[in-house]
């Protein structure tokens, strides 16, 4: 049995979850792990000098638990607590991959935590421009809700900081334009993964 671990990172509201779910329905033996499931409770989130809760940093997440979950899945994909997506169909050219299990880990801070550096077989990162990101973010309802000025005072500066650090310390990331259609993004990543699996079968 082989395992393929795919990172699907990127900016907030860049389309990560939508893409992950769609891939999960079309790829065989595919499980999805969401980084958002590892947020600490609100009472444990630090507050900066501007009164903004520091959600967009690694310290806001139980990252050790996330690492443990990924390695647990890698050892035993079928017995893991990570939820398996319901695949609609297996393409003809992937019929021989029944012994391959795929994990898509989706999140906004996947490539800035050193203990995860060794797990990725493929790394993707969705980007969208500032204005589009701010517009999309304003249409979402969060718990707790974003206070006034939160996007410009915390979310976007942290994104730029982490993206810069990621580029300095991580290689082989495939950058995706999150303003493209869902169909274009899906086709790009799906075909990339299928090609990867086909090389495993040769």
Q: How far apart are CA 166 and CA 103, in angstroms?
A: 21
Active-site residues: which are they? 36
């Amino acid at each position: 049995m082989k395992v393929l671990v795919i990172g699907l990172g990127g900016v907030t509201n860049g389309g990560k979850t939508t893409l992950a779910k769609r891939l999960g329905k079309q790829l065989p033996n595919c499980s999805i792990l969401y980084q958002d499931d590892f947020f600490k409770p609100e009472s444990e989130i630090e507050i900066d000098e501007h009164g903004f809760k520091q959600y967009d940093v690694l310290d806001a997440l139980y990252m050790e638990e996330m690492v443990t979950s990924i390695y647990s899945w890698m050892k035993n994909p079928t017995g893991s607590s990570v939820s398996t997506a319901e695949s609609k169909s297996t393409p003809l050219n992937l019929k021989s991959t029944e012994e391959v299990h795929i994990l898509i880990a989706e999140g906004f801070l996947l490539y800035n935590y050193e203990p995860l550096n060794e797990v990725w077989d493929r790394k993707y990162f969705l980007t969208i421009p500032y204005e589009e990101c701010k517009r999309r973010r304003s249409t979402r309802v969060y718990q707790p809700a974003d206070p006034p000025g939160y996007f410009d005072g915390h979310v976007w500066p942290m994104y730029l900081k982490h993206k810069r650090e990621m580029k300095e310390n991580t290689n082989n990331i495939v950058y995706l334009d999150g303003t493209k259609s869902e169909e274009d993004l899906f086709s790009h990543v799906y075909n990339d993964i299928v090609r990867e699996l086909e090389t495993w079968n040769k």
